[in-house]
Chains A and B, each alone.
Chain A
Amino acid sequence: MAMPILELRKLTKRFGNLIALREFDLDINQGELIGVIGPNGSGKTTLFNLISGYYRRFEGEIIYRGKRISGLRSDQIARKGIARVFQSYVLYEDATVLENITRCFYLICKTNSWQSFFNTSRYCKEEVTQRAEAEELLQPVGLAEFRDSLAGKLPYGYCRLLALAMALATNPTLLLLDEPMAGISHEEKGLVINLIKKLGDQGITIMLVEHDVKAVVDICPRLVVLDFGRKIADGSPEEVTTDRKVIEAYLGVEEG
């Protein structure tokens, strides 16, 4: 079997006395769809904060495609092909929906700053194609008609969809999704589930944090369960949902 795309080694993050994540180990293979579930405050977002470089001081190692990325800045990590959708409202609120997408093309531009400064024809051409690409990205999330509205004025559900489209604009290899379905309508949820499945089929590796266990089970062939910062289960949905520790920690509350 090939080398895992992402290896997490004994990740531990402390906030004072609180240990938000404890000796977390995980190997993720290329193209895998992994669901990360766990009760509120169990450390899921913290895990993403470590992988995406938001926190740079922690214990343990993160290895991406055989290279250590722990300790790098978020922009360096993004440059390696890891994109993240935040759990909360993180957009360029003062820009239009379309502009939000084009700003995310930063990493995949083919012309350099000088060409853009002198407004060369190659740069102009790239601007035109990028605009078209941006509109194309808005299609599958159903935001095409809102392309000129201000992102800050969008209803919450649309914001989440836009954030997802923005992450895709960077053409990622590994996608970290933090509760992309929280607070959105039923139809939108269907849209997101289909989109994630399609991305999975395209070979993008995805880590999905989600509260809606049904949706995760539907999408992800492998689940990891966190509780109080500890990994308590790792396996197929059937294995995990019948695991006693998991039922006690998490599902027990849900089903009870």
Chain B
Amino acid sequence: MPPVAVWMDGLLLSSIYILIASGLVLVFSIMGIVNFAHGQLYMLGAFLIYYMFARAGINYFVSLIITAVAIGLLGIAIERGLLRPLAPNGLLPPVVVTLGLIFLFEGIATLFFGPAKKAVPSAVPGVSSIGALTVSNEKLVVVAIAVAVMIGLYFLVSHTRMGLAMRASAQDPYTASLYGVRRGRTLSQTMFIGCALAGIAASLMAPLYFVDPWIGLTPLIMALLAIVIGGLGSVLGAVVGGALLGFSGTFLIYYLGPWSELTAFLIVIAVLLLRPEGIFGRPRA
């Protein structure tokens, strides 16, 4: 048995992967494209938290909510301004634009926020003891918020009219529109939620790591891996894939050292060979 700290780290990492991957998958399931700039939205969110919480001294939880909303709104702007007008031209143009946005956001962050690494202080310092264990409060809060957000997302998608419209639109946009689902609005709502999740993930992660203009790539790649494992288009798949990556990553680092980075990829290769559509993806008839 690995020590409890390793379990805790696995839980932590999983929470973050899940938040990022489920945002990405939500957007994919409805728009049919992968937003490759999702990681850069995460990076911008981390800078927002840095400036609001670490520099301006605004309350951490208030900063978190503002960050989520701001990144969500940025997502809507991207969707309305760029992706929607390009959608009729096929898959490639919108996807290339999201790749272009990677550079754009990275450039903006470097120019305006500077290339130096920035540290965000802990929002909830101290440690708690549960029985014989001691865990840092920071990590407990991160996991608690991530779990709460995912439960909220679950209710939003499965128990509200908005969620119903989203699910209908994901399954068959045309038929959904015949039943009165306004696709434009659903797209915006989805993009808002998906990107806000990236903002939340960034707010949670910023105090634990550092912030610079290039932190977006790793979360993007891990989220993409989680999605491929879980099945493209399935939020449940993203959750399972994210957890698998988070735990396997921390456990194997503990046992194997740096090579453990590769295990995530080995899982993906195994999934691709055994079940190419992903664990929760639907196979072709």
Contact = CB atoms under 8 A, between A and B. Distances in A.
Interface in A131-175: none
Interface residues of B, number: 1
Nearest to A15: B285
Contacts of A57: 285
A55 B285 CA distance: 7
Contacts of A15: 285
A17 B242 CA distance: 32
A50 B285 CA distance: 11
Interface in A1-29: 15
A113 to B, nearest CB: 27
A15 B282 CA distance: 13
Interface in B87-119: none
Nearest to A49: B285
Q: Could you say which interface size class chain A belongs to?
A: under 10
Nearest to A58: B285
B284 to A, nearest CB: 9
3 contacts: A15-B285, A55-B285, A57-B285
A152 to B, nearest CB: 13
Q: Rank and list the top 3 A-B pairs by shortest CB-CB distance, nearest first.
A: A55-B285, A15-B285, A57-B285
State the main secondary structure of chain B at its contact with A. loop
Nearest to A55: B285
B115 to A, nearest CB: 44
Nearest to B283: A57
Contacts of B285: 15, 55, 57
A55 B284 CA distance: 9
A93 to B, nearest CB: 12
A244 to B, nearest CB: 34
Contacts of A55: 285
B254 to A, nearest CB: 42
Interface in A45-72: 55, 57
A110 to B, nearest CB: 35
B171 to A, nearest CB: 15
Interface string B254-285: 00000000000000000000000000000001
Interface in A110-124: none
A15 B285 CA distance: 8
B19 to A, nearest CB: 33
Nearest to A16: B285
B92 to A, nearest CB: 13
Nearest to B285: A55
A18 to B, nearest CB: 11
A94 to B, nearest CB: 11
B247 to A, nearest CB: 33
B156 to A, nearest CB: 28
A50 to B, nearest CB: 11
A57 B283 CA distance: 11
A21 to B, nearest CB: 12
B282 to A, nearest CB: 11
Interface in A200-241: none
A206 to B, nearest CB: 27
A49 to B, nearest CB: 9
A190 B285 CA distance: 37
A143 B146 CA distance: 62
Interface in B234-261: none
A201 B285 CA distance: 37
Nearest to A13: B285
A196 B165 CA distance: 47
A45 B285 CA distance: 15
A88 to B, nearest CB: 14
Interface in B5-46: none
A15 B284 CA distance: 11
A104 to B, nearest CB: 24
A15 B283 CA distance: 12
B83 to A, nearest CB: 23
